[in-house]
Each structure stands twice: as structure tokens, then as C-alpha cells.
A = this chain, B = another copy of it.
């Protein structure tokens, strides 16, 4: 049915990729100065600890990537090994690749400086192909995931550079550069890999079991709990505290709303675990880009209510429509958890940017909207007329999401084409959503269990 030779050659390619990483690390990567021993006669002692002050938030994000995403995807009844295992595999691959790719864009003297910041960035980058994997869950081989990750992370790094450093948009929690990019890239790949029209019905394994649903709640809950760390880790000063507060309140409001809307629109008014597992988190995505702005508690709550509503309605109506009409399967519903809430976040960022004033943001304007103070990080006169005005910044926010969508969808279509039409093995319909094609699975358990 599937040839072991193809599998073997795929894994050999993976080993070669890992060895190329090794060589690139050797050639290009060096510890940053803060991670090197101080000279014997140096004076400033205590600064080392300062430099790792974001370590607890980094660890929270680690849990989100490895536990959060991994377990969120265990909801399929026979795909738990792949959900947790391939998450581990992809994240381990991508963090290395992201250190290199993002490093190449910020080299000094031909070398990449390695510090805690780089691996925080790498963890955030790992979220991108994991989001895309959610759209494709159960319908790709690990070697296809490998290939997709390599392409996607390179494009992600380029797009992020463009958005943050060229267009100077604000995107503190990464809803535009991470969530929208990952979701629409994955959906574009899924569109390219869509089944023939006579094979479009959902497989019987494309659903949950009682136990697998509870495993998935492990993922949901850790993502919920640590989301404030994801959104705030790159914020500066008091913006960090606002990012925490706004994310927390938006998640809480989205969660309550999810329960309401789920009960109102579902069959027999029963709650649907898919909504609870996913739409409760939409508040974290929708507040992402604007989490460090002066939303006020009510702004955060309002964004959460909108996000929860849109997300549940997406699961209930839009996803089935896309499956039937476009043959676009979105296994985890990343469009409802990451895609649309990220669009909400982008729109919110344009609205709040259009209202930003020096009077409100004071000394933080430079951190949050550097282009509005006529500078991208160097010295400036804050009140000067060199920068963008608020309306212009709002326009750039919308331009940023538009370019992101363009690159994500274009890149996804190209990547999907490569996966479909070149030499990669594609899974057949009856191989979908089950572990046993790639994993040794225990034989059927005996009756007494």
C-alpha cells in the first residue's frame, strides 16, 4: 500500500536537513555578549540576570507550543500519537530553522548573535507551521510537514520583517504576522491538497472520542492560561502589564460568549466541545495585535465578545460550507480560531491606531508606533512633524494585514503545489486521520480492558 522505501528516503532527507542546520550553526551562530563570561576586570556585575528576566514568559510559551498545540490537536479519536508526536517533531525542527532564518535578517559582522531573545522568537515562529498543520491535520505525511515548515518559516520571517521593520505596523501579540499568516497559509495548502469531488464526505475517523476530547482540553486550558505571556512577551514597559490585563479579560469574555453562542446555535441546544476547545481562545487572538494599546478593560471585553461570537458561528456555519462547497477541509478549524479572529485584531488595530495621540501614549509612542515619531528606533524628537499621523498609521495597519494575506495565501498555494505535484507521497483517503500508517499502534486491546 505504501512503500517503505519512500518513507526511508523521506527520513534520510530529514537527517540531512538536521546536519545542514548543524553546519549553519557552526558557521554563523555565536553567543551574544550577555551570554559570554565577563572579563575579569569588568565591573557591571548584576546585568546577566537582568537579561534573562523574560525567562518565565519564555517557559510559558514553551508550554503553549509543545503542550498547548500538541494536545489541542489530540481531539481526533485515532490521531493522538501524531498530534502530540508531530507537534514535538515540527516544533523541534522549526525552532532551529527559525533561529537561523530570523538571524540571517539581523546579522552583525556576518554572525548571528544567540541569546534568550532568539529562542523566544523561535518559539513564536514555531507556532506558525503548527497553526497551518491544524488545517491539514491527518491528511499529510510527516515529510510533507517538514517541507511545508521549511518554506513557511522562511516566508514568515520575511513577511514579519516587512510588516514590523518596513511598514512599521504594531503587532505586539503577533495576530497579524503569526496567526493570520499561519492560518491562511495552511488553508491555501489545504485547498491545493483538497480531495477529488467524489471523495469529499467526512471520514468516520474525522471526529472525537470521549477520551480524546478530554485530552484536547489539556491543550485548550494551557493555551488559555498562558496566552497573556504569548501576547506580552515582546511588549515594553507598562505596555507589558496592559498586554497581560487585556489578554486576560478578552479571553474571559470570549469564553463566556462561546458557551452562550454554542448553546444557542447547536443541535438540541447542547454545548459542542469543538467550540469550547477552540472558540474560547479566539479572544486571545483577537486582542493580540492591540493588546498593549490603551483599550481599557471594556475594549478588551468587547473584543473578546466579538471574537467568541464570530468563532463559534464560523465553526457552526462557515466551516461546513467550505467543506461542502470548496472541498476545503479545515480539520481543527484554524480559520475560526486563528484566521478570522486575527482579521478582527487587524481591524481593531487600525481603529485604535487612528485614535493614537502623543498625549495618550506619551513616552511609549516610540515603542508602539515608532513611525509616528519619525523614527524606527533611533533618536528622535517626539513632538516633531516628521512621523506619520494617526490616520496614516491606521492605513499601514490595514496594508500590513493585506500584504500578510497575500504572501501567506500565495506562499501556501505554491507550497501546496509542490507537495501535490512533485515527488511527495500523498496520503490516500482511507489513510487519513489515523496514526497507524506512521506509528506502531498497540494491537486491539483485550476485552477486559
Contact = CB atoms under 8 A, between A and B. Distances in A.
Contacts of A51: 241
A142 to B, nearest CB: 7
A268 B49 CA distance: 49
A355 interface: no
A252 interface: yes
A386 to B, nearest CB: 16
Name which of A80, A217, A276 has the most chain B CB atoms within 10 A of its CB. Answer: A217
A66 B221 contact: yes
A436 to B, nearest CB: 8
A2 B41 CA distance: 69
A48 B240 contact: yes
Interface string A93-111: 1011001000000000000
Interface stretch (A290-298, A327-335, A412-420): A290-298
Interface string A260-289: 100110111111110010001000000000
A52 interface: yes
Interface in A140-189: 142
Contact of A301 (B66, B96, B211, B217): B96
A440 B364 CA distance: 48
Interface string A409-429: 000000000000000000000
Interface in A21-67: 21-23, 25-26, 29-31, 34-40, 42, 48-49, 51-53, 55-57, 59-60, 62-63, 66-67
Name which of A8, A60, A214, A280 has the most chain B CB atoms within 10 A of its CB. Answer: A214
Given A59-B225, A209-B445, A273 B29 contact: no
Given A31-B294, A56-B55, A364-B38, A269 B4 contact: yes
Nearest to A35: B241
Contact of A253 (B18, B207, B239): B18
A362 B38 contact: yes
A11 B264 contact: yes
A172 to B, nearest CB: 14
Kindly report how many copies of this chain are found in the complex they form together.
3
Given A77-B449, A301-B25, A441-B210, A31 B242 contact: yes
Contact of A11 (B7, B208, B259): B259
B439 A444 contact: no
A11 B263 contact: yes
Contact of A222 (B67, B115, B208): B67
A241 B118 CA distance: 12
A15 B208 CA distance: 28
Interface residues on A, range: 35 or more
Interface stretch (A83-91, A345-353, A393-401): A83-91
A89 B7 contact: no
Nearest to A262: B11
B88 A280 contact: yes
Given A51-B241, A263-B8, A92 B297 contact: no
Contacts of A263: 7-8, 11
B63 A225 contact: yes
Given A18-B257, A34-B238, 19 more contacts: A4-B268, A4-B269, A11-B260, A11-B263, A11-B269, A21-B253, A25-B301, A29-B298, A31-B245, A31-B296, A36-B294, A48-B237, A48-B241, A56-B59, A67-B218, A71-B218, A77-B442, A92-B253, A92-B256
